Amino acid sequence: MTHWIHRAFPHHEETNVVFFRGLSLDTLVRGLLDQQRMPLAYAGGADWGLVMHDMSSWECGEYDLADYGRLCQDGGELGVFVTEPCWAKAHGPSFQYYRDGRLITGFSFETPYFRAGEEPDLLLPVLTAARPAGPAADHDREDDEERTVRAVSGFFSFPELEMP
């Protein structure tokens, strides 16, 4: 089975997976549509909900990230996995965590040691333990991206995402 970080949504190469809480599904979907990002699937959960959407704009083919900060104002939280940031160029995934409209932490799976946000080291302990970052980093394993997803998902208690 291919892990969802490699093909989050069938027949869509560039899909973002967004875990959300503290805001309604309707608010998130309307915000994505306002930014011309097509929601593809959603699921509710006890704590975190989930929305998958096309990374690029449907009208202009814009490949910049959606303005997630604008989508989660006033108590909202978003955990965003960009699964295939440039499928044709084979760039690795990335992750960003937003709270109250601000980027708290974010990193590219290709360079987890270069982190951004107000608390760039928030995930450093779990990334070090999973070994995609830190002094004992192990980048030669085939499951590097899956280990990173499991570490981040475990830290935030994201629900398990089962894909066929």
Q: What is the pLDDT of residue 143?
A: 73
Tokens 């011309």 belong to which residue?
36
d(CA 91, CA 82): 10
Q: What is the pLDDT of residue 163?
A: 60
What domain range includes position 99? 15-121
Give domain status of residue 100, yes or no. yes
Q: What is the pLDDT of residue 1?
A: 41
Report in angstroms the alpha-carbon separations of 69 from 24, 139, 146, 147: 15, 31, 26, 26
Task: Output Rg (C-alpha) for the chain, integer angstroms.
Answer: 15
Give domain status of residue 142, yes or no. no
Report pLDDT digits (tens) over 83-102.
876 654 556 789 999 999 99
Report in angstroms the alpha-carbon separations of 159 from 51, 73, 86, 149: 12, 22, 26, 12
Give domain status of residue 76, yes or no. yes
Give domain status of residue 43, yes or no. yes
Residue 75 has pLDDT above 60, yes or no: yes
What is the pLDDT of the chain when averaged over all its residues?
Answer: 83
Alpha helix segments (H runs only) across the chain: 25-34, 68-71, 124-130, 144-156
Phi, psi of 124 (to 5 degrees): -55, -45
Give domain status of residue 101, yes or no. yes
Q: Residue 52 in contact with residue 42, Cβ under 8 Å?
A: yes
Which of the two residues, 102 and 74, has the higher pLDDT score?
102
Residue 113 maps to which CATH number?
3.30.70
Which residues are CB-neighbours of 49 under 8 A, at least 6 positions away?
Answer: 19, 20, 21, 25, 28, 42, 43
Give domain status of residue 141, yes or no. no
Domain count, the chain: 1
Report pLDDT digits (tens) over 3-32.
667 666 666 667 899 999 999 999 999 999
Report pLDDT digits (tens) over 132-149.
655 555 655 567 788 889
Give domain status of residue 42, yes or no. yes
Give domain status of residue 102, yes or no. yes
One-letter amino acid at 55 equals M
